Amino acid sequence: MWRELAIVALVALVALDFWWRRRFRRAKAEAQIEHERLQRQQEQSAFHHQVRQEAVFNSMVEGLLLVDDRGRVQLANQAFANLFETRGEIIGKALLEILRLHELPEMLERINSGSPWVSRELKYPGPPELWLRVSAAAILNPDGRRHGTILVFHNQTRLKQLERTREEFVANVSHELRTPLSHIKGYVETLLDGAKDDPQVATRFLQTIARNAERLTLLIEDLLTISELESGRVTLNLQLLSLHQLVGKVCDDFKARAAGKQVLILNEVPKLKVRADAIRLEQVLSNLVDNAIKYGRADGRVTIGASAASEAKVELFVRDDGPGLPAEALERVFERFYRVDKARSREQGGTGLGLSIVKHIIQGHGGRVWAKSEAGKGATFYFTLPQG
């Protein structure tokens, strides 16, 4: 009887042990699955966090760089790579290895020695040459310890270029205004000093004064036109225009001037229609024809022609058979105050602004303007306009 009881107890114990082991194994397997699930979740959320962070960094316009406390790059965004045209892996490299900007280590030094924030304007020698505002700030752990620096690079090159252009423009305008003004002043003083008493000399001086006053007027008119066009306040009154008729009108306006130099103006424009502002288009053609007469050959020819460049575009040209333009001037003639021969332009009453005005007007119509020339064989100015 005791023997049977012992056997039953033993079997029960073995069964219980087996049951416990199975339960334990299942619980362990379940725990393992849960652990793996949590780990996957964590990895996924870390991955999403990283993707979000990278998306934020890469959507920034400013170049961004994270460096550790030894000045080694930890992270760089897309804008940084675009700005400095970096190629290959830069993570882990020292800052100076990537950028030849000797002010940067000094900025990092200041951050490492306790400054929370440093900002400097720097010139990057390039290529490409850049003007930058660089801001550096310490990255702090939740316990307040520093573990690196974040550097933000703002590209200010365009701003600098605009500033430079404006300064140059102001200097050019002042110079252009000063020349006729000083002539007027000089002749008036000479007249007052006694030249007025000689009627012949006085007439000659007064004529020079009148010529310089006229020059000032032209200059100021052109400056006002440029400033109006550049301000973007000009609204074009676009109309369907018959090109041949409009060019004919401009030719008539210049007939007397052309005859004075024995120049023949030819209107070879076919029957085409353009969508343009009549007054502005006349201004463009007048400037080009005026130049062709001014800089062309005496006894020469000025031809105005046009053709349909595509279904949407008409290409016009004004050609002369004068000395033409040197290759290096073909693009520059459209810059404000650029002249191939300053003295000749002034002598002819030029302001150096005519072609710049032409360019603004054509661009305002969505067109393009360019020049072609072969030395000694004349110059041709082309431009496009939307076809009517």
Rounded to whole angstroms, the Cα distance separating 23 from 21 reads: 5
Q: Quick one: which of 111, 333, 361, 369 contacts ligand ADP (CB under 6 A)? A: 333
Number of residues that bind ligand ADP (CB under 6 A): 22
Q: CB-wise, 62 or 222, nearer to ligand ADP?
A: 222
x/- mask, ligand ADP, residues 79-108, rule CB under 6 A, reads: ------------------------------
Give least dist CB 52 to ligand ADP, A: 54
Give least dist CB 140 to ligand ADP, A: 58
Say if strands 301-308 and 264-268 run parallel, antiparallel, or are unpaired: parallel
Q: CB-wise, 319 or 365, nearer to ligand ADP?
A: 319
Give least dist CB 355 to ligand ADP, A: 3
177 is a contact residue toward ligand ADP (CB under 6 A):
no
Q: CB-wise, 81 or 218, nearer to ligand ADP?
A: 218
Looking from the CA of 23 toward its CB, the CA atoms found within 13 Å total 6
Give least dist CB 373 to ligand ADP, A: 7
Instruction: Say if residues 352 and 345 touch (Cβ distance below 8 Å).
Output: yes
Q: Quick one: which of 62, 277, 315, 320 contacts ligand ADP (CB under 6 A)? A: 320
Q: Which of residues 193-252 bind ligand ADP (CB under 6 A)?
A: none
Instruction: Say if residues 278 and 246 touch (Cβ distance below 8 Å).
Output: yes
Give least dist CB 226 to ligand ADP, A: 11
Give least dist CB 267 to ligand ADP, A: 17
Torsion sign over Cα 232, 235, 240, 246: negative
Estimate to the nearest angstrom the gap between the alpha carbon of 299 and the chain centroid: 43
- Bridge partners (DSSP) of residue 76 are 65
Q: Quick one: which of 246, 325, 361, 385 contacts ligand ADP (CB under 6 A)? A: 325
Rounded to whole angstroms, the Cα distance separating 362 from 371 reads: 14
Where helices occur in the chain by DSSP H, the ranges are: 2-59, 78-84, 95-98, 103-112, 157-192, 199-231, 243-260, 278-295, 342-347, 354-364
Q: Quick one: which of 63, 71, 148, 322 contacts ligand ADP (CB under 6 A)? A: 322
Q: CB-wise, 350 or 367, nearer to ligand ADP?
A: 350
Give least dist CB 345 to ligand ADP, A: 3
Give the relative orientation of helices 157-192 and 199-231 as an angle to the nearest 10 degrees. Answer: 160
Q: Dihedral of the CA atoms 258, 261, 264, 270 (nearest 10)?
A: -40
Torsion sign over Cα 197, 199, 201, 204: positive
Q: CB-wise, 314 or 325, nearer to ligand ADP?
A: 325
> For residue 334, what are its two tokens?
């459209």
Q: CB-wise, 124 or 383, nearer to ligand ADP?
A: 383
Q: CB-wise, 276 or 333, nearer to ligand ADP?
A: 333
Which listed range, 129-137, 170-178, 251-259, 319-327, lies at the site for ligand ADP (CB under 6 A)? 319-327
Quick one: which H or E segment has residue 134? strand 130-140
Q: How many residues does the chain have?
A: 388
x/- mask, ligand ADP, residues 336-375, rule CB under 6 A, reads: --xxxx---x----xxxxxxx-------------------
Q: Write the DSSP symbol of residue 263.
A: P
Q: Which of residues 282-311 bind ligand ADP (CB under 6 A)?
A: 287, 291-292, 295-296
Find tokens 């049951």 and name the residue.
19
Rounded to whole angstroms, the Cα distance separating 120 from 100 reads: 15
Q: CB-wise, 79 or 358, nearer to ligand ADP?
A: 358
Find tokens 């020059």 and name the residue.
215
Which residues sit at the interface with ligand ADP, rule CB under 6 A? 287, 291-292, 295-296, 320, 322, 325, 333, 338-341, 345, 350-356, 379
